[in-house]
Structure 1
């Protein structure tokens, strides 16, 4: 989530096909947008963030984000969550050893907050291999009936600036957005407000922003994506701030930090 190409005989037709293919590779998001192939979530709609476990969406919800291993919620706009730049906790052995980022001592680099091994996106060859695997998840999202993807940890480079760069992150996420568009799925920018202005380059269609109220970043996303922004806050203060500034424009929800299912004792969900 593959472009269907009709093969024609003849030198002129072949040349035209080559030019068209090149244009698609250079600007996949533009081609998809012009074809009307993807749609972002509805603006200012009821939203629920269920990446910690799926449950029946509350009344009024129109947009749901769920993990790619879950099924979409029937009748709603569904965003498919992917941990694209890091391995899930304990899943580093599922990846080829050379695709795990390593420090100068050869040790695997971990995001300490979540215990996730970081993926090595520093070369085009490695980005292509990682994108192939994440791409299989994207295909699964499309096959299940999701309408969009949410590739998480786009901002990993900000936590490891001595090893990773913004340019590498943009090059990698562009591969994912192209795959998504090929399967008719919209692609979200997850956090990373400093790169929101590069959305045309990266092919991203809307934003999923955590705690933009707390960090005064909601405007950074709307300046690039307009009202195509969904917001998750994790504190009462963050919810108040987001709702006061953006409650009449954006889709906003407060969830507990673990994003617990509704049956959990730690479950929190509030809206504007």
Structure 2
């Protein structure tokens, strides 16, 4: 498995950083019950503990109710094994950037590939071309569904704030992000809004949870409150801030917060005291 790059991938050098559910019987005496939406999708609640592992050999033994893993690099057996262990499983895929190392890389027309996004082998996508990107992303998300994942974490969802090589607007981003949400829902999957803090007020209703990187480091965690107020989980990671500095505020805000190393391997420190989401 290739090493996952560090955070702030979609808003480098800017004030906003980049960055389910549970249900297991807990240590503190209360038990949580899996929630689904009226449409039958999984709905992770605030406070759900989780593991985010995008590099190294998958360790399925972390005692948390939610795992977020790479959708291409893990097969249905890995997902089924996590399910047997009582985990819900989120499928990481990039929806806003082309990756030369993915098996479907050759299906992306050169005309929609923009500037590099700062990571080797990756280029921004022209999200205005929903006619071309829609079928490609449908295939990726369908892959997640066929492997048995419960949800999707679509990455690189705020290209309009970056130098992509295209004249992207906030309206372009809203239309594209909503397209991704509709595709995920069509396949019965929950979907998370990755970063894109500035558009949370417009997009919260379209997404089932949020994923955020480094909101504590950049003093932005309160921007995620609309998800919490809607009873939706916020899966949050820091890389450079000690847990003693960000966990008290994360707990107050009811975020599902971790300290991770930049490679997003197995190592983690959690602010969540127990796996209960209730």
Per the normalisation by structure 1, the TM-score is 0.74
Note closer, same or farther for the CA distance 1:259–1:62 as it changes in structure 2 (3 Å cut).
same
Q: Is 1:168–2:172 an aligned residue pair?
A: yes
Which range moves more in the overlay, 243-252 or 136-145? 243-252
Taking the aligned partners of 2:57 and 2:255, their CA distance within structure 1 comes to 23
Q: Is 1:228–2:241 an aligned residue pair?
A: no
Deviations 1:97-129 (A, max 9, x none): 12213xxxxxxx11124541111112xxx2132
State the partner residue of 1:208.
211
Taking the aligned partners of 2:88 and 2:106, their CA distance within structure 1 comes to 33
The answer (yes or no) to whether the contact 1:214–1:241 under 8 Å persists in 2 is no
Deviations 1:192-225 (A, max 9, x none): 1111111256x11210011111111111112344
Q: Which runs of 5+ in 1 are unaligned?
A: 1-32, 102-108, 263-267
State the partner residue of 2:4.
none
**Counterparts of residues 84-103 of structure 1 (less than 5 Å):** 84-90=95-101, 93-101=106-114
Taking the aligned partners of 1:66 and 1:34, their CA distance within structure 2 comes to 23
Taking the aligned partners of 1:39 and 1:169, their CA distance within structure 2 comes to 25
Taking the aligned partners of 2:57 and 2:193, their CA distance within structure 1 comes to 22
Cα offset, 1:163, TM superposition: 2.2
> SS of 1:177's equivalent?
helix
> SS of 1:247's equivalent?
helix
Cα offset, 1:95, TM superposition: 1.4
The answer (yes or no) to whether the contact 2:200–2:224 under 8 Å persists in 1 is yes
**Counterparts of residues 131-146 of structure 1 (less than 5 Å):** 131-146=134-149
The answer (yes or no) to whether the contact 1:210–1:231 under 8 Å persists in 2 is yes
Cα offset, 1:176, TM superposition: 1.2
Query: Number of matched residues?
Result: 222
Point out the structure with the larger helix share: 1
State the partner residue of 1:259.
264
Per the normalisation by structure 2, the TM-score is 0.72
Note closer, same or farther for the CA distance 1:184–1:90 as it changes in structure 2 (3 Å cut).
closer
Taking the aligned partners of 1:209 and 1:79, their CA distance within structure 2 comes to 14
When the two chains are superposed, the root-mean-square deviation of aligned CA atoms in Å is: 2.3
Q: Is 1:270–2:274 an aligned residue pair?
A: no
State the partner residue of 1:117.
123
Q: Which runs of 5+ in 2 are unaligned?
A: 1-35, 272-278
> SS of 1:173's equivalent?
helix
Taking the aligned partners of 2:38 and 2:197, their CA distance within structure 1 comes to 27
State the partner residue of 2:161.
158
Question: Greater RCO between the two (CA within 8 Å, min separation 6)?
Answer: 2
Structure number with larger C-alpha Rg: 1
Segments of 4+ moved more than 4 angstroms: 89-94
**Counterparts of residues 10-159 of structure 1 (less than 5 Å):** 35-53=38-56, 55-69=58-72, 70=74, 71-72=78-79, 73-74=82-83, 75-90=86-101, 93-101=106-114, 109-122=115-128, 126-159=129-162
Note closer, same or farther for the CA distance 1:213–1:117 as it changes in structure 2 (3 Å cut).
same
Taking the aligned partners of 2:101 and 2:66, their CA distance within structure 1 comes to 30
State the partner residue of 2:20.
none
The answer (yes or no) to whether the contact 2:216–2:238 under 8 Å persists in 1 is yes
